Amino acid sequence: MIDKSGLAVWIDDAAALTEEGWSGSADAWAALVGARDAARAVADDKGATQDEVDAAADLLAGAIDADTVKPEATLAAPTTAGPFSSLDLQVDATDDRGLSQIVANVYKGDTLIASTQSEIADGALSGSHAANVPLPDGAYTLRYNAHDVGGNVSATGTFEFTIDATAPTATVKEGSEFTVATGQTYDRVSFKLHDAGKIDKVELNGVVKDLSNNNWSDINFVAPGVFGAVQGANTLIVYDVAGNTQTVTFTLN
């Protein structure tokens, strides 16, 4: 005697489900419809064996029990809008059943500039995707999400940031009140500093002088004993807010 009672229960359960009410992926719904129709055929087949009945019931049960819960993706980095000399990103994700992929794409306006992703092995319940993306100077939008093994996709998060990959400039200021040159060396020297992404600070022979963050700045009246300056060779490193540097060497008398 073939027992089809278990199969009948799963068919009833499947009949109660509608595509409109289905919160899972389209692929999972298609699999459910296929399993449901196959189960009905087996139920109607008077010649079906118990193995065929049990297999149809298992297939339908698995399709009904599909993963219908979306993963969640969160942006771990960046945490500020920059500017950065390049993009260091990290997206963390979790899922109730298992992740398959985490994606982070960089857009300029509506144009995709760079796509990065990590495959998550073995359906791990949590995962992380990190990437470094070199980009030209400008304003960008990061869009990121996570996919689970059931084909569900998390909400897509967005984050605006700017890139400044251009080093600042340092120009010797003219005028004897600022700069006194004797050939290739100086009694004293002053610099005009500029950066489109704003000057942050200078470092003179390892001595850091923080400057208010502005596009234009100055480092004036550098002479031995001032700001870490010494007689002989000096090294001035100018930093912008993004961390790009310009190194200037000069000799003081």
**Site pattern 93..112 for Ca ion (x: CB under 5 A):** --xxx---------------
Site for Ca ion in 19-38 (CB under 5 A): none
Least Å distance, CB 23 to Ca ion, is 10
Residues 6+ apart with CB under 8 A from 150: 24, 25, 28, 66, 67, 68, 97
Which of residues 216 and 224 has its CB atom nearest to Ca ion in the complex?
Answer: 216
Query: Cα(162)–Cα(194) distance, rounded to whole angstroms?
Result: 18
Which of residues 57 and 63 has its CB atom nearest to Ca ion in the complex?
Answer: 63
DSSP bridge pairs for 208: 203
Site for Ca ion in 189-228 (CB under 5 A): 195, 197, 200-201, 210, 213
Least Å distance, CB 239 to Ca ion, is 8
- In 3D space, the residue among 235, 238, 225 whose CA is nearest the CA of residue 187 turns out to be 225
For Ca ion, the binding residue among 42, 240, 250, 252 (CB under 5 A) is: 240
The 3-state secondary structure of 59-89 reads HHHHHHCCCCCCCEEEEEECCCCCCECCEEE
Least Å distance, CB 217 to Ca ion, is 9
Q: How many residues form the binding site for Ca ion (CB under 5 A)?
A: 16
Piece of 111-119, 145-153, 215-223, 230-238 that binds Ca ion (CB under 5 A): 145-153
Using CB under 5 A as the binding rule, whether residue 169 contacts Ca ion is answered as: no
Query: Cα(146)–Cα(124) distance, rounded to whole angstroms?
Result: 12
For residue 140, the surrounding DSSP H or E stretch is: strand 138-148
Residues 6+ apart with CB under 8 A from 45: 52
Least Å distance, CB 105 to Ca ion, is 21
Residues that bind Ca ion (CB under 5 A): 67, 69, 95-97, 148, 164, 166, 195, 197, 200-201, 210, 213, 240, 244
